[in-house]
């Protein structure tokens, strides 16, 4: 597939000249194509320091000086300094010189422009909370272009992920090179998907500390956005929170492995109904659904697979290419149950215990389930389908009761979990969020009771080895990580996303091998 080769830019904001230079070297080492030197962030005594910075640059650069930044406004003579910096950048023929729309509109910049040789001018505007229609934005851009901009840049505040839709439309239709950047976590996909819609460049942060910006490392290693083009299909995980999701680390290399032109991004979604109303084009081709949307997701679909319908939770949505309809599936159920079954079979084989292969190793067993949300429902229906006796414990008893009734099981008060021991050799499955990052010191069950279980499964997969699993292993139980479930459900999602292409090329072993080069589970710095 031919990508549009979009440039990746690292914004640099350091106080000192040396700080700027060393950050530039690190940006280069991380694969940045250019840097934005935010000179207003520097506290320089003499303009000669800025000159030295520009002369010693090791990458093509954008030189910018924001008058409205809090840093700049603390200084005196801002306007004078700003014009001085911009003039210098033009004299030194820096690749891009960024000027705020306010500067080009209110100051006489003719004298400045006379210095220009081959520098391109970026005219930028910060839309401070202004909600703009597509038409209003279009008019603004025309005005910015007429004031001398070769490239236009807008910085938009984003309250909801749906606020980005007009930006994507604008990127597609704009006749002049356009950079759209956003403020806030919900704007992350503006940089990840911008190149698909024709964005001039994408920003990636060096440290990962700027909300709404992906890290340079993730843009280069995980998303490889330079391969993206207008035909790239968009997939993503719809969740809140979404930062913990490892889906991008798994699906993006998988797409490349099988030669499928797709990108998979984290989507921080507050209102799932509104999301599907706004992002209704064929470009947005498939979704994983996470906390807390799995139960509401079914209502957003045109059709729901019978298994997902009976579970009452949809964790995968695919837009059917032929008619654009949204089809809901549940891949959690088989993923979690087969992870448990395979671990039991492996242990039985290692112990030399002969068991019938056509009967599930959990048939007839007591299956103690903690949690009655989306993952809990998938596990309960899976366990029931294999002939296990299901006992449901959940913080909210009403939910436990409803689920137990649906699978002909029994709901028991959450406070009795630590004393529940009707027999030995039971299966324990945690499908509650207890123990998930950042609460890694928590466990839903006391250590003392874990000896009653032959196998303990934890759906939580961040961290990989939860406190519950560590204590279960110490008690002699088989410990099965949520990573096993995650990989299996993701593999099935991948098959649905790629219409079966994954069946030919991928299995759980190849997916494991994608994860380990990233140092799982310590790759949380890659977002």
Active site (catalytic) residues: 294
Phi, then psi, of 501 in degrees rounded to 5: -55, -35
Residue 459 Cα distances to 62, 89, 483, 484, 487, angstroms? 46, 55, 8, 9, 12
Question: To the nearest whole angstrom, how small is the minimum distance from the Cβ of residue 313 to ligand NAP?
Answer: 7
Do 180 and 170 meet the contact criterion of CB atoms below 8 Å apart? Answer: yes
Interacting stretch for ligand NAP, rule CB under 6 A, among 32-40, 267-275, 296-304, 432-440? Answer: 432-440
- Judging by beta carbons within 10 Å of its beta carbon (0-12, 13-18, 19+), is residue 141 exposed, middle or buried? buried
Do 474 and 447 meet the contact criterion of CB atoms below 8 Å apart? Answer: yes
Q: Is 436 in the site for ligand NAP (CB under 6 A)?
A: yes
Element at 64 (helix H, strand E): strand 61-64
Assign 429 to helix, strand or coil: strand
Do 270 and 238 meet the contact criterion of CB atoms below 8 Å apart? Answer: no
Give the separation between CA 313 and CA 254, rounded to whole angstroms: 25
Question: To the nearest whole angstrom, how small is the minimum distance from the Cβ of residue 176 to ligand NAP?
Answer: 43
> Three-state SS string across 240-289, please?
CCCCCCCHHHHHHHHHHHHCCCEEEEEEECCCHHHHHHHCCCCCEEEEEE
Q: Which of 316, 360, 466, 489 touches ligand NAP by CB under 6 A? A: 489
Residue partners of 338: CB distance under 8 A and separation at least 6? 488
Question: To the nearest whole angstrom, how small is the minimum distance from the Cβ of residue 315 to ligand NAP?
Answer: 7
Q: Which of 184, 241, 292, 521 touches ligand NAP by CB under 6 A? A: 292
11 vs 374, which CB is nearer to ligand NAP? 374
Interacting stretch for ligand NAP, rule CB under 6 A, among 188-196, 286-294, 300-308, 347-355? Answer: 286-294
Interacting stretch for ligand NAP, rule CB under 6 A, among 147-155, 215-223, 340-348, 480-488? Answer: 480-488
Q: In sequence order, what are the beta bridge partners of 287?
A: 236, 317
| Nearest residue to ligand NAP on Cβ basis | 373
Report the b/e string of 56-69 with b at 16+ CB within 10 A. Answer: ebebebbbbbbbeb
Question: To the nearest whole angstrom, how small is the minimum distance from the Cβ of residue 244 to ligand NAP?
Answer: 7
DSSP annotation of 232 reads: P
Q: Is 373 in the site for ligand NAP (CB under 6 A)?
A: yes
Q: Is 245 in the site for ligand NAP (CB under 6 A)?
A: no
Q: Is 332 in the site for ligand NAP (CB under 6 A)?
A: yes
Question: To the nearest whole angstrom, how small is the minimum distance from the Cβ of residue 486 to ligand NAP?
Answer: 3
Name the nearest CA neighbour of 525 among 240, 254, 209, 226: 209
The size of the interface with ligand NAP (CB under 6 A), counted in residues, is 26
Structure tokens at 85: 């910096």
Q: Which of 11, 266, 371, 382 touches ligand NAP by CB under 6 A? A: 371
Question: To the nearest whole angstrom, how small is the minimum distance from the Cβ of residue 366 to ligand NAP?
Answer: 19
Q: Which of 125, 246, 294, 386 touches ligand NAP by CB under 6 A? A: 294
Q: Is 461 in the site for ligand NAP (CB under 6 A)?
A: yes
Give the separation between CA 363 and CA 225, rounded to whole angstroms: 47
Q: Is 329 in the site for ligand NAP (CB under 6 A)?
A: no
372 vs 515, which CB is nearer to ligand NAP? 372
347 vs 399, which CB is nearer to ligand NAP? 399
Q: Is 434 in the site for ligand NAP (CB under 6 A)?
A: yes
Q: Is 137 in the site for ligand NAP (CB under 6 A)?
A: no
193 vs 403, which CB is nearer to ligand NAP? 403
101 vs 377, which CB is nearer to ligand NAP? 377
Q: What is the largest CA-CA distance in the chain?
A: 89
Interacting stretch for ligand NAP, rule CB under 6 A, among 4-12, 86-94, 189-197, 290-298? Answer: 290-298
What residues between 386 and 425 interact with ligand NAP by CB under 6 A? 394-396, 399
Question: To the nearest whole angstrom, how small is the minimum distance from the Cβ of residue 70 to ligand NAP?
Answer: 37
Structure tokens at 278: 């706004």
**Footprint of ligand NAP on this chain (CB under 6 A)?**
291-292, 294, 332, 371-376, 394-396, 399, 431-434, 436, 459-461, 482, 485-486, 489
């Amino acid at each position: 597939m031919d990508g549009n080769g979009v440039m990746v830019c690292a914004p640099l904001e350091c106080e000192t000249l040396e700080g700027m230079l060393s950050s530039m070297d690190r940006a280069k080492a991380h694969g940045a194509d250019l840097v934005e030197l935010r000179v207003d962030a520097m506290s320089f005594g003499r303009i000669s320091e800025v000159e030295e910075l520009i002369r010693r640059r090791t990458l093509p650069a954008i030189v910018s000086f924001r008058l409205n930044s809090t840093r700049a406004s603390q200084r005196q003579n801002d306007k004078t300094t700003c014009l001085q910096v911009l003039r210098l950048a033009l004299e030194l023929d820096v690749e891009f010189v960024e000027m705020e729309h306010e500067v080009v509109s209110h100051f006489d910049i003719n004298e400045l422009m006379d210095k220009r040789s081959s520098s391109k001018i970026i005219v930028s505007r910060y839309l401070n909370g202004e909600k703009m229609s597509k038409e209003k934005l279009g008019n603004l851009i025309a005005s910015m272009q007429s004031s001398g901009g070769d490239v236009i840049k807008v910085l938009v505040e984003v309250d909801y992920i749906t606020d980005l839709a007009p930006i994507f439309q604008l990127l597609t239709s704009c006749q002049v090179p356009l950079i759209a950047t956003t403020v806030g976590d919900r704007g992350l996909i503006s940089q990840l998907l911008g190149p698909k819609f024709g964005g001039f460049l994408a920003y990636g942060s060096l440290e990962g500390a700027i909300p709404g910006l992906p890290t340079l490392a993730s843009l280069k290693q995980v998303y490889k956005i330079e391969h993206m083009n207008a035909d790239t299909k968009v997939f993503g995980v719809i969740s809140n929170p979404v930062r913990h999701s490892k889906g991008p680390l798994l699906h993006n290399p998988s797409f490349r492995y099988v030669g499928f032109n797709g990108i998979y991004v984290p989507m921080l979604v507050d209102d799932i109904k509104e999301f599907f109303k706004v992002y209704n084009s064929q470009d947005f081709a498939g979704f994983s659904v996470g906390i807390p949307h799995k139960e509401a997701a079914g209502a957003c679909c045109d059709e729901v697979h019978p298994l997902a319908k009976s579970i009452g939770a949809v964790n995968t949505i695919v837009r059917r290419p032929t008619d654009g309809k949204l089809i809901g599936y549940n891949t959690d159920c088989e993923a979690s149950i087969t992870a448990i079954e395979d671990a039991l079979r492996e242990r039985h084989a290692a112990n030399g215990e002969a068991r019938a292969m056509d009967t599930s190793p959990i048939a007839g067993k007591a299956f103690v389930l903690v949690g009655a949300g989306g993952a809990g429902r998938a596990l309960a229906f899976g366990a029931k389908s294999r002939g296990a006796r299901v006992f449901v414990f959940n913080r909210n008893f009403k939910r436990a009761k409803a689920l137990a009734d649906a699978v002909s099981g029994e709901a028991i008060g959450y406070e009795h979990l630590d004393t529940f021991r009707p027999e030995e050799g039971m299966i324990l499955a945690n499908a509650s969020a207890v123990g998930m990052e950042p609460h890694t010191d928590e466990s839903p069950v006391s250590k003392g009771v874990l000896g009653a279980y032959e196998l303990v499964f934890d759906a939580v997969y961040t961290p990989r080895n939860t406190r519950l699993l560590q204590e279960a292993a110490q008690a002699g139980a088989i410990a099965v990580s949520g990573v096993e479930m995650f990989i299996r459900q993701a593999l099935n999602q991948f098959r649905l996303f790629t219409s079966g292409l994954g069946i030919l090329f991928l299995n759980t072993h190849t997916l494991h091998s994608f994860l380990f080069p990233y140092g799982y589970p310590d790759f949380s710095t890659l977002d």
